[in-house]
Amino acid sequence: MNFGIAPYKIVNCYIANESCTHCGTLIVNVYLVEDGEGKTYPVGSGCVKHIWGKEIKGFREADRKLKALLEERKIAQNEEAYNAALIRLAAMPHPNGYFADQGKTAADYFNFCRKSSANMRKAIFMANTGAC
Ligand SMILES: [Zn+2]
């Protein structure tokens, strides 16, 4: 499908289940492209990069926002398993010997770490396997 007249810019991005205006594929990471007349089109990231490249106005901001949204979603998805892991980690020693000697636990370690999906996965792995 054709887009309207130039110039084009990205005015929003979000996570959804929609069809890409360009290729018709089901897309989860949606970039909302606006044409020169203010009409908007949901477009997938692959098509945005293929058609306009990363130079399209608003791409960097949208890309940053989308990454943050995806990270939030991963954190929410891991929340239950992470909280269960923390209970088991409270019975395991801190991975650093110095803090372990002071009675700190692996749960203390992860409570100190920045809460990210990557750290949550590490905590879940450690609680399940006992390995760092
Ligand atoms: Zn597409």
pLDDT, tens digit only, all 132 positions of the chain: 678 999 999 999 999 999 999 999 999 999 999 999 999 999 999 999 999 998 999 999 999 999 999 999 999 999 999 999 999 999 999 999 999 999 999 999 999 999 999 999 999 999 999 876
CA 95/CA 66 separation, integer angstroms = 33
**pLDDT attached to residue 80:** 97
pTM value? 0.78
CB 89 within 8 A of CB 106: yes
How many angstroms is it from 116 CA to the middle of ligand 1?
Answer: 30
Cis peptide before 95 (omega within 30 of 0): no
How many angstroms is it from 118 CA to the middle of ligand 1?
Answer: 29
How many angstroms is it from 49 CA to the middle of ligand 1?
Answer: 10
**pLDDT attached to residue 35:** 96
Strand blocks (E) in 1-132: 9-19, 26-34, 40-44
3-state SS, residue 14 = strand
How many angstroms is it from 26 CA to the middle of ligand 1?
Answer: 8
How many angstroms is it from 88 CA to the middle of ligand 1?
Answer: 44
